Amino acid sequence: MSTTDEAIKTVRLIRSPVSIVGMVLTTISAVVFLVVFFADLFGMHSNPYIGIVFFLILPGVFLFGLALIPLGAWIERRRRAAGRRASEWPRIDLNNPDHRRVAVSIFALTMVNIVIVSLAAYRGVEYMDSTQFCGQACHSVMKPEATAHADGPHARVTCVECHIGAGATWFAKSKLSGTRQLLAVSFHTYSRPIPSPVQNLRPARDTCEQCHWPAKFHGDKIQRIAEYGDDEKNTESVTTLQMHVGGGVERAGAAQGIHWHADAANQVEYISTDDKRQVIPYVRVKDRTGAVREYVADGVTPDHLAKGERRRMDCMDCHNRPSHQMAASAERAVNAAMARADIPSTLPFVHREAVKVLKVSYPTEDAATEAIAKGLREFYRGSYQPIYMSRRQDVEKAVTGAQQVFKRNVFPEMNVQFGTYPNNVGHMDFPGCFRCHDDNHKAKDGRKISQDCDTCHKIE
């Protein structure tokens, strides 16, 4: 048999229905993929989840179509080897009015189906881009994070704007790992609580600095912190902090205050030796003049540092819970609720009793809601009967306020309690600033990273 005859025979084999379906799928997916690839390359779309459709599904369809072509030829060869009649497609004659009407109808219906499927795909991608999808749909285990986000300062910033970058690179880094998470959710093997994604966060320059410009931070900020006692009058004490936010620009000279760390002219690197970046035994600082100084905590060896993670400091090293803030303790949460008047501060011992019922470990949110109401009502009914009768509305307001504090910060099903997630802003409840500013990190020339309070704030 000549080479020409062999080629003709091969062509006839791939004319089988299976092979033709494979060729159609391959051609369509290849064309669509190329169009979307160049749209992504030139920044013509900004939806990160489009990558799921176009950088995963379409290549999968393309490969599936390629596999169908030789599969169809193999099936056809086996059919012929078995002596069966070769597969034949129906003959279509467009000169025949009946055939022509059927062909036009099929083509029109195909176009309509393409439009319907495209719109459905677009709406699907749009929904996957929503906060509702992240917090309530397949990511239901993220209830603590979703609740904190909805009540936080970035509630109008969607999850994907911070967690998912645009383009195929960030899709591969952020969403392919979602396959493992999907399996964990399906088989209920996910961690409780869900760990903070310390290792997989996007760089602050791509998220925080799109709105917050470090060079424009300046001046001081007044912060008022109210605390209440456990005495009958819930005695209020107020601490006023004049926070030296600082910042600066090149023309103004060296940056000042807390945001000195964020000045582009200063390069601060550190090594952490735990997976939550709470233990920092080494700091390297290169200032605007190019001078370098290394600070090492007492007792730390080079072998110890070699096992740690080296990182250049950015916004997220202090503001590690910018959109998912939770109270560090029941006392903190009740203080804040009383300062907002969510819990009436004029009720006797309300601070003490609210903290008491909130510190109990409850198996479920429903059990907590019931027990909190019962505990506060019984206290005022038993110890302050006249107040309970005359100020029932205030008692019920205290009940609702305490219940809301619990629902906002504690999630028994996910093992999330007060203080589960460290917040590195400040140093009262977690190490925070004191991870480095502890007077224990020393340079070779004897200088230390100072713990002087006046560096960051003035207390009144």
Within a domain: residue 205? no
| One domain, residues 233 and 342 | no
Q: Tens of pLDDT along 250-277? A: 555 566 788 888 887 889 999 999 989 9
Residues 367 and 299 in one domain: no
Which residues does 416 contact at the CB level (< 8 Å), separation at least 6?
144, 193, 326, 409, 410
Q: Is residue 94 part of a domain?
A: no
Structure tokens at 186: 């399906």
Range with top average pLDDT, 79-93, 126-140, 243-257, 380-394: 380-394
Contacts 24+ apart (CB under 8 A), 85-88: 86/12, 87/15, 87/16, 87/17
CA–CA distances in Å: residue 74 to residues 15, 18, 19, 80: 11, 10, 9, 10
The region of weakest confidence among 97-101, 142-146, 391-395 is 97-101
Least confident residue range of 37-46, 225-234, 298-307: 37-46
Say whether pLDDT at 169 is over 80: no
Which of these ranges, 92-101, 174-183, 335-344, 369-378, has the smallest mean pLDDT? 174-183
What is the pLDDT, as a whole number, of residue 365? 94
Shared-domain flag, residues 181 and 232: no
- Asked whether 229 and 237 are in contact (CB, 8 A), the reply is yes
Are residue 239 and residue 299 in the same domain, yes or no? yes
Residue 253 lies in a domain: yes
Whether residue 293 is found in the same domain as residue 437: yes
Task: State whether 220 and 318 are in the same domain.
Answer: yes
Confidence of residue 328 (pLDDT cuts 50, 70, 90): very high
Beta-bridge mates of residue 226:
238
Residue by residue, DSSP assigns 164-225 as --SHHHHHHHHTTTHHHHHHHHHTT---SSPPP-GGGPPPGGGTGGGT--GGG--S-EEEEE
In a domain, 81, yes or no: no
Please indicate, yes or no, whether residues 161 and 278 belong to a single structural domain of this protein: no
Alpha-carbon separation of residue 224 from 231, 335, 459 (angstroms): 22, 12, 10
- Do 386 and 353 lie in one domain? The reply is yes
451: domain range?
215-323+424-459
Determine which of 35-44, 90-99, 271-280, 413-422 has the lowest per-residue pLDDT on average.
35-44
Task: Give per-residue burial for 252-280: e unless 16+ CB within 10 Å, then b.
Answer: eeebbbbbbbbbebeebebbbbeeebbeb
Radius of gyration of the chain (CA): 32
pLDDT at residue 417 is higher than 90: yes
Same structural domain for residues 243 and 297?
Answer: yes
Mean pLDDT within 296-320: 91
Do 447 and 313 have their domain in common? yes
Q: Are residues 317 and 389 in the same domain?
A: no
**Sequence-separated (6 or more) residues with CB below 8 Å from residue 402:** 334, 337, 343, 354, 357, 358, 372, 376
71 is a domain residue? no
Asked whether residue 151 is assigned to any structural domain, the reply reads yes
- Across all residues in the chain, what is the average pLDDT? 82
If one counts the domains in the chain, the total is 3
d(C-alpha 207, C-alpha 119), whole Å: 30
> Cis (ω within 30 of 0) for the bond into 193?
yes
* 87 pLDDT higher than 60: no
- Domain assignment present for 57: no
Position 232 scores a pLDDT of 96
Most confident range (mean pLDDT) of 166-175, 237-246, 398-407 is: 398-407
Per-residue pLDDT at 9: 47
- Structural domain includes residue 43: no
Q: How many residues does the chain have?
A: 460
8 Å CB contact between 186 and 59:
no
The neighbour count for residue 337, using CB atoms within 10 Å, is: 23
339 and 303 within one domain = no
